[in-house]
Structure 1
Amino acid sequence: MNPVDVTRGDGPVILGLPHTGTFLPDDILTRLNPRGQLLADTDWHIHRLYEGLLPGATTVRARFHRYVIDANRGPDDASLYPGQNTTGLVPLTDFDGEPIWTETPGPEEIAGRKTRFHAPYHAALAAEIERVRAKHGVAILYDCHSIRSEIPFLFEGRLPDFNIGTNMGASCDPRIEAAACDVVKATGRSWVVNGRFKGGWTTRHYGQPARGVHAIQMELAQSTHLATEAPPFDYDEGKAGALRESLRGILGRLAALAPVLAAE
């Protein structure tokens, strides 16, 4: 099984999709407990939500589930949010802090998962970034995510609909952050920049504006596009339709900025 799907486009924007995959090898699936086998922490239907929104966009999508290994964590497993509850490179609990394994993966197994899944995803993503940057002078990586709107273990209260992360402005040109903010502001929905989610390892690692690589993460509350944030996590066409127009606007604005950034 190829752990990553790449669809090459000829435009300057790359969509990263690290958490929409649901594949688990049998030897891993059978060691998840019943709670783990719900796969509740999937970024449900995000690939469907973004499909076709920006002609020419490249997509890099992990096919494996984040419980196999989290493609948005660094290979060193350093915490993205020191002092706060979070999950690691190979999660031991779900987003509610509950155990998901009948047998916890050990260091040797985790090393094997890095080789089989994590490394190929990032090799593919890095290759597409360099290809796009060579073609356009810049590459804009837009990392696509979603999460349940209420998870007390991770954050208090209800998450805003749009959660934009730019590593406190370090991962992209300020005009990219501003463009995304302008679109979400006009929706009348709730939103925040660099709130609880400031961008994961992908955004922080690849976002190097001085090299012409700009990265921004969008974490959507799942209430914006799911019929229910509990099993079976069905997609809501009505909710998603309205949201897609806003996302189309963001991606279009980012693509339009690329030649401006490349010319400087």
Structure 2
Amino acid sequence: MPLATEPVFDPPFVVTEPMLQVAPVVFNAPHSGRDYPPEFVAASQLDALELRRSEDAFVDLLTAPAVSLGAPLLHACFPRAFLDLNREPWELDPEMFSAPLPAWANTRSPRVAGGLGTIPRVVAEGRPIWRERLPPEAALHRIDTLYKPYHRALRRLLARTQRQFGVAVLVDCHSMPSTSTPRRLGGTPDIVLGDRYGSSCAPAIMDSLEQGFVDAGYRVTRNAPYAGGFITEHYGAPLAGRHAVQVEINRSLYMDEQRIEPGPGWAAFSRNLLGVFAGFLPMLTASLPTQRLAAE
């Protein structure tokens, strides 16, 4: 779309704070934004429902009750199909643009090749988003006005949390289609926990989350088919007291995937998810200081 018609998202993201932060955790839902301005839909080959196929629908609402446990939640309002926060800031496909990109753009990553860069070329099932090529200025505008402010807000929440508790744990919340893994390979699990194969958080964090979900009756895998994206990799630095874990939720547990609306399992899963987090947060407090958590 021409730069003059770039939509305005007001607000672009929301930070929900507890009355008092008592846990060294920040919850994050970067892909649950569901604001689809008319300018965006008009610039797309897809209708609003089709654009939502790549959205982590309602994950912010599922996670919101955890704020009552004493931890903040950051979530995007703009959709993933417009700008993907779980990518490098300049992970861009040159074929999408009407003029050359800046020399510093990462145009050769596997995610770009798959059409899933910072500004995606496709939604789920490989359906192209855009009617026309975009001006490079559109990428610069989105990165400057949406991507960078969001990540600044996330860094501030994590820095504040680490100053207060000596450690900060980012729980990066996502959802996945129920068809993510072929049936012949066992089908899609209920929950996938990603720690970049052990590099982004202490083992105690993964162990506690996994046990909580298993005790609640869910089938859990680690790092397959999702090990965590840019956010998990970028913010997870266990030796420095910063931990990041990605939580992927099977959408069939809580929503109608075709209509993209809450399903009959919503109430039970929402209640169980809050229970898992309620059991997880005290473990972190008991594991302080940072040196103990990183060493476990």
Q: What TM-score comes out, normalization by structure 1 length?
A: 0.89
The alpha-carbon distance between structure 1 residues 174 and 84, as it changes in their structure 2 partners (threshold 3 A), is farther
Asked if structure 1 preserves the Cα contact closer than 8 Å seen for 2:115 and 2:121, the reply is: no
Aligned AA for 1:257?
A: M
Aligned AA for 2:85?
A: A
Q: Does 1:67 align with 2:81?
A: yes
Q: Does 1:129 align with 2:158?
A: yes
Asked if structure 2 preserves the Cα contact closer than 8 Å seen for 1:171 and 1:204, the reply is: yes
- Name the counterpart of 2:268: 242
- The separation in 1 between residues aligned to 2:194 and 2:176, in whole angstroms, is 14
- Name the counterpart of 1:51: 64
Q: CA deviation at 1:176?
A: 0.1
Asked if structure 2 preserves the Cα contact closer than 8 Å seen for 1:20 and 1:45, the reply is: yes
Q: Does 1:161 align with 2:175?
A: no
- Name the counterpart of 1:192: 221
Asked if structure 2 preserves the Cα contact closer than 8 Å seen for 1:222 and 1:229, the reply is: yes
Please state whether the residue corresponding to 1:76 is helix, strand or coil: coil
The alpha-carbon distance between structure 1 residues 172 and 193, as it changes in their structure 2 partners (threshold 3 A), is same
Aligned AA for 1:250?
A: V
Superposition RMSD on alpha carbons, in Å?
2.3
Range with greater deviation from structure 2 (11-20 or 245-254): 245-254
Structure 1 unaligned runs (5+)? none
Please state whether the residue corresponding to 1:51 is helix, strand or coil: helix
Displaced runs of 4 or more, over 3 A = 24-27, 78-86, 155-158
Please state whether the residue corresponding to 1:67 is helix, strand or coil: coil
Q: Does 1:34 align with 2:43?
A: no
The alpha-carbon distance between structure 1 residues 109 and 189, as it changes in their structure 2 partners (threshold 3 A), is same
Aligned AA for 2:34?
A: T
For residues 99-145 of structure 1, give each alpha carbon's deviation from its aligned partner in whole angstroms, at most 9, with x where no partner exists. Answer: 12112334321121101111111010110000111111111110111
- Name the counterpart of 1:177: 206
Q: Which has the larger radius of gyration?
A: 2
Q: 2:32 aligns with which of 16, 20, 23?
A: 20
- The separation in 1 between residues aligned to 2:113 and 2:82, in whole angstroms, is 22
Please state whether the residue corresponding to 1:15 is helix, strand or coil: strand
The alpha-carbon distance between structure 1 residues 263 and 102, as it changes in their structure 2 partners (threshold 3 A), is closer
- The separation in 2 between residues aligned to 1:175 and 1:88, in whole angstroms, is 32
For residues 10-37 of structure 1, give each alpha carbon's deviation from its aligned partner in whole angstroms, at most 9, with x where no partner exists. Answer: 1321110101112244433310113565
The alpha-carbon distance between structure 1 residues 12 and 210, as it changes in their structure 2 partners (threshold 3 A), is same
Q: Between Structure 1 and Structure 2, which shows a larger proportion of helix residues? A: 2
Q: Does 1:120 align with 2:149?
A: yes
- The separation in 2 between residues aligned to 1:112 and 1:222, in whole angstroms, is 32
- Name the counterpart of 2:238: 209
Q: What TM-score comes out, normalization by structure 2 length?
A: 0.80
Structure 2 unaligned runs (5+)? 1-9, 92-105, 292-296
Asked if structure 2 preserves the Cα contact closer than 8 Å seen for 1:132 and 1:138, the reply is: yes
Q: Does 1:2 align with 2:11?
A: yes
Aligned AA for 2:62?
A: L
Residue-pair matches, total = 258
